[in-house]
Amino acid sequence: MHLYVSIALFEKVAREMLGKASGNVTLKDISGGRDTTISHILSLLRGELVAENGGSALFVEGLAQSLAVHLVRHYGVADTAARAQTALSGSKLRRAIAFMAARLDQPFDLNSLAHEVGMSAFHFSRLFKKSTGVSPSRYFIRQRVAKAQQLLQETDASIIEIGMTVGYSSPSHFAQIFRRETGLSPTDYRRG
């Protein structure tokens, strides 16, 4: 489901929540992340939009505002000069993310990742977390789980094969990580 929140609504919510500090608020890129609150809001929104009588515009508007508040509260970042100096550049962040995505079947290696973008492991790790809100290793786990979700939905490969494809040699370890990240076992996720 693709949903577009109007800029006017987003800016209004940012102003009300952050006051003068709102400045130019942007959202963190959390590719492959899973947020149960957003999923719930989108489910309610979809139900309202496909309702026989067209649903209530007032309810849809309230859900859109709730979504905007949640996004600003949990993913909003004030885009200030200070942040720009303490975050990875867009090109380095994209290169790091692509490097991880190409190696989901391999163990996480912070030194190789930092070397790929020409930085020390410590400096890279600190700036990556400032840019994304999570550590590089946590982001890598989320990428693995997102790929596993895609494979569970789009292929008939066994759960063991999928776990191995995303770097887990133990089915129980894969299931444990998958459940921690999604709230469901791989089997339940595939059925859903």
Model confidence over 23-41: pLDDT tens digits?
677 777 776 678 889 889 9
Q: Are residues 168 and 93 in the same domain?
A: yes
Q: Which of 82, 109, 126 is the last residue of a domain?
A: 82
Count the domains in the chain.
2
CA 115, 121, 124, 129 torsion-angle sign:
positive
Angstrom distance (rounded) from CA 169 to CA 163: 7
Q: What is the 3-state secondary structure (H, E, C) of 34-55?
A: CCHHHHHHHHHHHHHHCCCCCC
Would you state the structure tokens that stand for residue 78, as one six-digit string? Answer: 């004030």
Give the model's pLDDT for residue 86. Answer: 66
pTM: 0.57
Would you state the structure tokens that stand for residue 19, as one six-digit string? Answer: 């006051």
Segments of the chain scoring below 50 in pLDDT: 81-84
Q: Are residues 105 and 172 in the same domain?
A: yes
Q: Are residues 46 and 113 in the same domain?
A: no
Element (H, E) at 57: helix 57-75
- Is the residue at 118 inside a domain? yes
The parent domain of residue 156 ranges over 87-192
Q: Are residues 111 and 142 in the same domain?
A: yes
- Is the residue at 1 inside a domain? no
Angstrom distance (rounded) from CA 82 to CA 186: 41
Give the model's pLDDT for residue 175. Answer: 95
Q: Are residues 91 and 159 in the same domain?
A: yes
Q: Are residues 74 and 98 in the same domain?
A: no
Chain length of the chain: 192
Q: Are residues 12 and 77 in the same domain?
A: yes
Q: Are residues 138 and 165 in the same domain?
A: yes
- Is the residue at 2 inside a domain? no
Give the model's pLDDT for residue 81. Answer: 45
Helices and strands of the chain, counted as H and E runs: 11, 2
Give the model's pLDDT for residue 185. Answer: 95
- Phi/psi region, residue 19 (left: phi>0; alpha: psi -120 to 50; beta: rest), is left
Angstrom distance (rounded) from CA 127 to CA 135: 9
Q: Using one digit for the tens of pLDDT, what is the confidence trace for 104-141? A: 999 999 999 999 999 999 999 999 998 888 999 999 99
Average pLDDT, the chain: 86
Q: Are residues 129 and 61 in the same domain?
A: no
Give the model's pLDDT for residue 34. Answer: 80
Q: Are residues 43 and 117 in the same domain?
A: no
| Amino acid at site 1 | M
